[in-house]
């Protein structure tokens, strides 16, 4: 392909287009978040603002629930940090591709680096990996994918808030939070270490639910991760011994 | 309004989220995530999510409730089954809510 065929505009629009199929899954989520944030007691403005200030689905769900339970600020921030640590992985994986960009681009694209934008962006870079010549405007592609997701997230949050304000509390829509987490946690239980992490964290959260400041949650989460690590560390070692 | 006092927490939560996203991009990929940390990240979702979900399902006003009249526990079990069989988030939410409404109607809450 000739270099002249690469343009900023074209990269941007291709990024937008490649993000579209993912929106089908994201939009209902944003609506559920909007519904749930209201039933957790957040004001319309706070619920909407969280979608651009935090801009991370599962962390927003959790923060809404912690606010409902009147948790202290420190526990909210700590829990959001733990839940969002995976973004450091995305950052590490994108870093080599964005190395040559100006600081302003790096700062902007980092803000847009959600699960869904990362998935689309990294797929593009991996697709290009074998090529001798690549577009010099690929960051516009990443921008297009990221901003499309951002816009969809803001709109779907707004729709959720609009609908949520008209749904009576007797519908128990707060239960969608537990259901969302069930749907997310079950596929994560791929092996014994994952199951053990979930079970030990769940059991400890129950045992520690009377602890002040909602400290039971971060405590249980860290304990679950340690249990998972300990078990996963031993598995390959045991296999190696068995092979001898 | 309870949410007003939560502004500093939400801004801080947004900031830590942004900084994790920026971290390695800003450091120009000069160093990598330690392998132990990368391995630990895999266990964050199951640990955090079940630490939130389990108390949601089995605690009723702070007391353990494992009985048959606990509609949330039963609906949660139905949802887990759907999640396990289909891996479909929206279907899990839809059937879970339907199960909760059905059970609440039958059990009279």
Q: pLDDT tens across A30-44, in order?
A: 998 999 899 888 999
- Quote the Cα angle for A59-A76-B79, to 5°: 45
Three-class DSSP category at B67? coil
Inspect the interface and report whether the beta carbons of B55 and A76 lie closer than 8 Å.
Answer: no
B4 touches A at CB < 8 Å: yes
Helix, strand, or coil (residue A17): helix
State the count of interchain CB pairs (< 8 A) between A and B.
272
pTM for the model: 0.77
Regarding an ipTM greater than 0.85, the answer is no
B51–A199 CB contact, under 8 Å = no
Q: Do B51 and A86 touch (CB under 8 A)?
A: no
pLDDT in tens, A182-229: 988 888 788 899 999 999 999 999 998 887 767 788 889 889 999 999
> Between chains, do A76 and B100 touch, taking CB under 8 Å as contact?
no
- Minimal CA separation from A132 to chain B, in Å: 23
Q: Which residues fall within 8 angstroms of residue B50, CB to CB, at 6 or more apart?
A: A181, A185, A198, A199, A201, A202, A205, A224
């Amino acid at each position: 392909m000739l270099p002249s065929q690469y343009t900023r505009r074209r990269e941007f629009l291709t990024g937008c287009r490649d993000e579209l199929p993912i929106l089908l899954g994201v939009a209902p989520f944003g609506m559920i978040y909007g519904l749930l944030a209201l039933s957790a007691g957040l004001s319309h403005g706070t619920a909407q603002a969280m979608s651009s200030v935090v801009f991370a689905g599962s962390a927003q769900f959790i923060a809404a629930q912690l606010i409902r339970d009147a948790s202290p600020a420190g526990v909210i921030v700590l829990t959001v940090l733990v839940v969002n640590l995976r973004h450091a992985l995305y950052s590490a994986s994108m870093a080599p591709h964005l190395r040559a960009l100006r600081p302003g681009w790096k700062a902007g694209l980092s803000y847009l680096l959600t699960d869904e934008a990362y998935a689309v962006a990294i797929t593009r870079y991996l697709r290009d990996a074998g090529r001798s010549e690549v577009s010099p405007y690929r960051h516009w592609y990443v921008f297009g994918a990221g901003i499309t997701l951002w816009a969809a997230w803001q709109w779907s949050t707004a729709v959720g808030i609009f609908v949520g304000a008209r749904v009576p509390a007797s519908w128990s829509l707060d239960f969608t939070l537990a259901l969302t987490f069930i749907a997310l946690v079950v596929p994560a239980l791929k092996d014994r270490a994952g199951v053990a992490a979930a079970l030990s964290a769940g059991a400890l959260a129950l045992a520690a639910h009377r602890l002040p400041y909602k400290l039971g949650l971060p405590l249980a989460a860290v304990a679950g991760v340690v249990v998972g690590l300990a078990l996963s560390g031993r598995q390959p070692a045991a296999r190696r011994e068995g092979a001898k | 309004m309870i949410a007003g006092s939560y502004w500093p927490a939400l801004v801080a939560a947004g900031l830590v989220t942004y900084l994790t996203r920026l971290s390695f991009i800003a450091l120009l990929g000069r160093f990598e995530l330690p392998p132990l940390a990368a391995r630990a990240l895999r266990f964050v979702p199951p640990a955090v999510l079940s630490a939130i979900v389990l108390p949601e399902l089995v605690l009723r006003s702070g007391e353990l409730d494992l009985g048959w009249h606990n509609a949330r526990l039963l609906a949660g079990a139905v949802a887990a089954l759907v999640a396990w069989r289909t891996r479909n988030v929206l279907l899990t939410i839809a059937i879970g809510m339907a199960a909760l409404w059905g059970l609440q109607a039958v059990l009279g809450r």
